[in-house]
Structure 1
Amino acid sequence: MNNISLLQSISGLLAGIALIVILTARFRIHAFFALLLAGLLAGLIFQLSLTDILTTIKTGFGQIIGSLGLLIILGTTLGLILEHTGSTTVLAAYVLRQTGTRRSPLALNIIGYLVGMPIFCDSGFIVLSGLNKALALRSGVSMVIMASSLATGLYAVHCMMPPHPGITAAMGVIEADIGRVMLFGLLIALPASFCGYAWSLYAGRRLPVVAPAAMETDSTPAALPSVLMSVLPIAVPILLIALRSFFTLEQKTLSLPLQLLNLAGMPEIAITIGIVLALSGMRKNQGDSFRKILQEGAEKAAGILVIIGGGGAFGAILAKAGIGEHIASNPAITGTGILLPFIVTAILKTAQGSSTVAIITAASIIHPLLPALGLHTPDGSLLCVLAMGAGSMMVSHTNDAYFWVITRFSGLEVKDMLRVYTMATLVMGIVAMLGVYLLSRLIL
Structure 2
Amino acid sequence: ALSNKAKVAYGGTTAALALGLMATHVMVPPTPGPIAAAGILDAELGSVILWGLLVSMLALVPCYFFSTKIASRIHIPIKLERTEDTLHKPKLFISLLSIVVPIILIVVKSVADYPGMNMGDSFLYPMISFFGSPVIALLIGIILALLMPKKLDRKVYSATGWLGDALRIAAPIILITGAGGIFGAMLQNSGIADFIANSFTDIQIGLFLPFLLAACLKTTQGSSTVALITTASIVAPMLVALGLDDPFLKTMTVLAIGAGSTVVSHANDSFFWVLTQLTGMDVKQGNQIQTVGTLIFGISAILVIVTITQIF
Q: TM-score, normalised by structure 2?
A: 0.88
8 Å CA contact retained: 1:144, 1:412: no
Hey, what's the Cα distance between the residues in 2 that align with 1:239 and 1:302?
26
The whole-number CA distance in structure 2 between the counterparts of 1:338 and 1:230 is 37
- Once the two structures are TM-superposed, the CA of residue 432 in structure 1 deviates from its matched residue by 1.1
Equivalent residue letter for 2:40? V
2:97 to 232, 239, 252: 232
Match of 1:20 in 2: none
Q: What is the alpha-carbon distance in structure 2 between the residues aligned to residue 239 and residue 413 of structure 1?
A: 40
Counterpart of 1:388 in structure 2 is 257
Offset of residue 304 of structure 1: 2.0
Verify: 1:326 aligned to 2:195, yes or no: yes
| Alignment partner of 2:31 out of 164, 173, 198 | 164
Residue 335 of structure 1: aligned partner: 204
Say if 1:390 and 1:430, in contact at 8 Å, map to a contact too.
yes
Q: Is the 8 A contact 2:113 2:120 kept in 1?
A: no
Q: Deviations over 1:192-220 (max 9, x none)?
A: 3443343122222333x322236797946
State whether residues 324 and 372 of structure 1, in contact with CA within 8 Å, keep that contact through their aligned partners in structure 2.
no
Q: Which of 111, 126, 135 is equivalent to 1:246?
A: 111
Mark the CA change 1:200 to 1:315 in structure 2 (over 3 Å): closer, same or farther.
same
- Verify: 1:353 aligned to 2:222, yes or no: yes
Residues 180, 214 of structure 1: alpha-carbon distance in 2 compared, 3 angstrom cutoff: same
Q: Aligned runs of 1:22-101 on 2, under 5 Å? A: none
Query: Could you tell me how far 1:377 is from its partner in structure 2?
Result: 1.7
The alignment's C-alpha RMSD in Å is 2.6
Is the CA contact (8 Å cut-off) linking 2:76 and 2:280 kept in structure 1?
A: no
Shift of 1:159: 0.7
Structure 1 CA distance, aligned partners of 2:110 and 2:83? 39
- Per-residue deviation at 1:391? 0.8
1:308 and 2:174 equivalent? no
In structure 1, the residue matched to 2:311 is 442
Alignment match of 1:264 (pick from 131, 150, 153): 131
> 2:30 touches 2:103 (CA, 8 Å); kept in 1?
no
Q: CA deviation at 1:240?
A: 0.9
Partner SS, residue 330 of structure 1? helix
SS at match of 2:296: helix
In structure 2, distance between residues paired with 1:153 and 1:212: 21
TM-score w.r.t. structure 1 length? 0.63
Q: Which runs of 5+ in 2 are unaligned?
A: none
Superposed, which structure 2 residues align to 1:209-224 within 5 Å?
Answer: 209-213=75-79, 219=85, 221-224=87-90
Match runs of 1:173-184 below 5 Å: 173-184=40-51
Pick closer, same or farther for the CA change 1:268–1:229 going to 2, 3 Å: same
Matched, 1:401 2:270: yes
Which amino acid is 1:173 matched to?
Answer: I
- For the residues of structure 2 that align with 1:144 and 1:415, how far apart are their CA atoms? 13
Identity %: 39
Partner of 1:368: 237
Larger radius of gyration: 1
- Whether contact under 8 Å (2:11, 2:72) holds in the other structure is no
CA distance in 2, matches of 1:333, 1:218: 62
Tell me if structure 1 keeps the 8 A contact 2:27–2:259. yes
Q: Which ranges of 4 or more aligned residues in structure 1 deviate by more than 6 Å?
A: 215-218
| CA spacing shift, 1:172–1:217, aligned 2, 3 Å | farther
Change (3 A) 1:217 1:173: farther
**Paired residues, number:** 306
Aligned-partner Cα distance in 2 for 1:239–1:353: 31
Kindly state the Cα deviation for residue 307 of structure 1 after the two structures are TM-superposed.
2.2
CA distance in 2, matches of 1:405, 1:328: 37
Distance 2:103 2:247 in 1: 20
2:225 aligned counterpart, secondary structure: helix
Q: Please, which of 269, 285, 288 is the counterpart of residue 416 of structure 1?
A: 285
- Checking the alignment, whether the CA contact within 8 Å between 1:173 and 1:363 is kept in structure 2 is yes
Shift in CA distance, 256/353, structure 1 to aligned 2, threshold 3 Å = same
Question: What is the CA deviation profile of residues 204-243 of structure 1, one whole-angstrom value per residue up to 9, with x for unaligned ones?
Answer: 2333x32223679794634430x43333332221111011
Deviation at 1:160, TM superposition (A): 0.6
Paired residue type of 1:287: D
Shift of 1:253: 4.7
Distance 1:416 1:371 in 2: 43
Q: Distance in 2 between matches of 1:308 and 1:417?
A: 30
User: Whole-Å Cα distance in 1 between the matches of residues 280 and 15 of structure 2?
Assistant: 12
Q: Is the 8 A contact 2:13 2:72 kept in 1?
A: no
1:241–1:270 CA contact under 8 A, matched in 2: yes
Instruction: Say which of 124, 130, 148 aligns to 2:15.
Output: 148
Give the direction of change, closer, same or farther, for the CA distance of 1:257–1:386 in structure 2 (3 Å limit). Answer: same
Are residues 254 and 144 of structure 1, via their aligned partners in 2, closer, same or farther at CA, if it must alter by over 3 Å?
Answer: same
Distance 1:331 1:234, change over 3 A: closer
